[in-house]
């Protein structure tokens, strides 16, 4: 299937969701002629029109763009997701030290290069942001920096 058609179908689905969840949006007391519902539905309408146009008349596919390997994309997405989910429970330093290993390896590092990157980044940015700049980062399960 042409990617533009797929995009068009997705756009229609998004518009349908916006309509489904937006149709009931009404203010209990209306002070103004245009309520909270009109604008989202207007946007949904234009999204639907775009979707239909893409379905009927796909634009030229973007040939310049080479897709990377699906495995690498999936691995990077999964690592990022795991990192963000465990960011709070594991604490900043531990989660950074762990998950920067696979992320660095996806980009060509050996495992120990990734480990060094993760530990150095974790400690350095914890000290810089948490201690110097007062950005509160999650502490580790042991209550301190780790």
Partner 1 sequence: MDTLGFLAHGFGVALAPTNLLLATLGAIVGTMVGVLPGLGPINAVAMLVPVVFALGLPPEGSLILMAAIYIGSEYGGRISAILLNVPGEASAVMTALEGYPLARQGKAGIALSLSAWTSFVGSAIATFGIVLAAPVLARWALAFGPVEYVALMVFAFSCLTGLLTDQPVKALLAIMLGLAISTIGIDANSGVYRYTFGSPNLADGVQFATVVIGLFAISELLIMLDTMHGGASIRIEQLGRSLFNRAELRFTNMATLRGSLIGFFVGILPGAGGTVASALAYTTEKRVVEKSDPKGSHFGNGDLRGLASVEAANNSASNSNFIPMLTLGIPSSGTTAIMLGVLTLYNLTPGPALFRSQPDLVWGLIASLFIGNIILLAINIPLVGLFAKMLSVPAWVLVPFIVVVSAIGVYSGKSTTFDLVLMVALGVGAYFLRRVGVPMAPLILGLVLGKILEQSLRRALSLSAGDVSILWSSPISITLWIMAAGVLLVPMLMPKFRSWRHKTIVETD
Tell which one of 9, 19, 117, 146 touches partner 1 (CB under 8 A).
117
The reply on whether position 1 binds partner 1 by CB under 8 A is no
State the nearest-atom distance from the C-beta of 142 to partner 1, in Å: 20
The reply on whether position 11 binds partner 1 by CB under 8 A is yes
CB 140 within 8 A of CB 90: yes
Residues binding partner 1: number (CB under 8 A): 75
Distance CA 88, CA 137 (A): 8
Q: Which two tokens stand for residue 70?
A: 């699906």
State the nearest-atom distance from the C-beta of 108 to partner 1, in Å: 5
Whole-Å CA distances, 32 to 21, 36, 68: 22, 10, 51
Q: Which two tokens stand for residue 9?
A: 């179908």
Tell which one of 9, 16, 19, 121 touches partner 1 (CB under 8 A).
121
The reply on whether position 140 binds partner 1 by CB under 8 A is no
The reply on whether position 31 binds partner 1 by CB under 8 A is yes
CB 11 within 8 A of CB 50: yes
Q: Which two tokens stand for residue 139?
A: 């502490």
For 5-146, strand residue ranges (E) read none
Give residues 57-116 in contact with partner 1 (rule: CB under 8 A).
Answer: 59-62, 64-69, 72-73, 76-77, 80-81, 83-85, 87-88, 92, 96, 100, 103-109, 113-114
The reply on whether position 36 binds partner 1 by CB under 8 A is yes
Other CB atoms closer than 10 Å to residue 94's CB: what's the count? 21
The reply on whether position 146 binds partner 1 by CB under 8 A is no
């Amino acid at each position: 299937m042409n990617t533009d058609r797929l995009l068009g179908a997705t756009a229609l689905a998004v518009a349908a969701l916006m309509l489904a969840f937006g149709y009931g949006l009404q203010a209990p007391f209306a002070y103004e002629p245009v309520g909270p519902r009109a604008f989202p539905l207007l946007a949904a309408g234009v999204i639907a029109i775009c979707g239909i146009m893409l379905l009927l008349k796909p634009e030229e596919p973007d040939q310049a763009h080479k897709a990377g390997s699906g495995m690498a994309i999936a691995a990077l997405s999964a690592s990022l997701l795991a990192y963000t989910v465990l960011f709070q429970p594991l604490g900043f330093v531990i989660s950074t030290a762990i998950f920067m290993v696979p992320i660095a390896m996806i980009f060509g590092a050996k495992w120990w290069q990734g480990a060094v990157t993760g530990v150095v980044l974790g400690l350095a940015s914890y000290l810089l942001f948490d201690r110097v700049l007062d950005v509160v980062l999650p502490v580790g399960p042991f209550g301190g920096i780790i």
